[in-house]
């Protein structure tokens, strides 16, 4: 299956060349759904997803690259999908994120910055008997299991 994923990756990159879009993930799910998740520095539109889908679907069929029935789904990486790429972190600076650490702990705060080594968040810390205060926490990527953007309805 990695041969198919490699071919799909090449096809998607070919179609995205010259745009601000990038691949977040490509995977074949057990139910034979080929899922392509995209993101962009200014978001991803449905027309862009449709263009990638047509391009990839046409070439996969033309080349008979997948020898069984499958469903092709191209979409943006939604808020429920963890941030994976540096560009996604930069794009979401200023938003509230939930960070799951490798030790199982969770941290929540405003994403202040991102480097190739980690992120800085501003979180509210309340110690017993004291007033809550905002502190900046630097978290390295080797400490982090997952980072997701939260949605606030305030």
Same domain, 69 and 114: no
Q: What pLDDT was estimated at residue 14? A: 95
Count of domains observed in the chain = 2
Same domain, 61 and 110: no
Q: What is the mean pLDDT of the chain?
A: 93
Sequence-ordered strand ranges (E) for the chain: 21-28, 33-40, 71-76, 96-101, 106-114, 118-125, 133-140, 144-149
pLDDT tops 90 at residue 140: yes
Q: Token pair of 153, please?
A: 């309805």
| 3-state secondary structure (DSSP) of residue 6 | helix
Same domain, 12 and 56: yes
Same domain, 46 and 107: no
- The answer to the question of residue 154 being in a domain is no
Measured distance CA(85)–CA(92) in Å, rounded = 11
Q: Which of 15, 46, 76 is the last residue of a domain?
A: 76
Q: How confident is the model at residue 151 (pLDDT cuts 50, 70, 90)?
A: confident
Q: Which of 29, 51, 76 is the last residue of a domain?
A: 76
Same domain, 119 and 93: yes
Same domain, 7 and 65: yes
Q: What pLDDT was estimated at residue 1? A: 60
- The answer to the question of residue 81 being in a domain is no
Locate tokens 């996604």: which residue?
A: 88
CATH of the domain at 27: 3.30.300.70
- The parent domain of residue 95 ranges over 86-149
The arithmetic mean of pLDDT across residues 88-111, rounded, is 95
Percent of the chain whose predicted confidence (pLDDT) is above 70: 99
pLDDT digits (tens, 9 = 90+) for 50-63: 999 999 999 999 99
Same domain, 48 and 94: no
Measured distance CA(149)–CA(13) in Å, rounded = 26
Burial class (CB in 10 A: 0-12, 13-18, 19+), 139: middle
Q: Which pTM was predicted?
A: 0.82
Measured distance CA(105)–CA(45) in Å, rounded = 35
Q: Which of 22, 45, 76 is the last residue of a domain?
A: 76
Same domain, 52 and 27: yes
CATH of the domain at 141: 2.30.30.100
């Amino acid at each position: 299956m990695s041969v198919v994923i490699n071919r799909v990756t090449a096809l998607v990159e070919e179609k995205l060349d010259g745009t601000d879009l990038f691949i977040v993930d490509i995977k074949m799910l057990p139910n034979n759904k080929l899922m392509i998740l995209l993101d962009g520095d200014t978001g991803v539109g449905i027309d862009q997803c449709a263009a990638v889908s047509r391009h990839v679907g046409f070439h996969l069929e033309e080349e008979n690259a997948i020898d069984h029935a499958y469903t092709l789904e191209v979409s943006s990486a939604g808020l429920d999908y963890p941030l994976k790429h540096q560009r996604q972190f930069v794009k979401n600076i200023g938003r509230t994120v939930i960070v799951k650490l490798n030790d199982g702990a969770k941290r929540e705060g405003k994403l202040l910055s991102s480097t190739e080594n980690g992120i800085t968040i501003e979180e509210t810390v309340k110690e017993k008997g004291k007033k809550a205060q905002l502190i900046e926490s630097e978290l390295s990527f080797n400490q982090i299991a997952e980072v997701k953007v939260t949605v606030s309805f305030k």
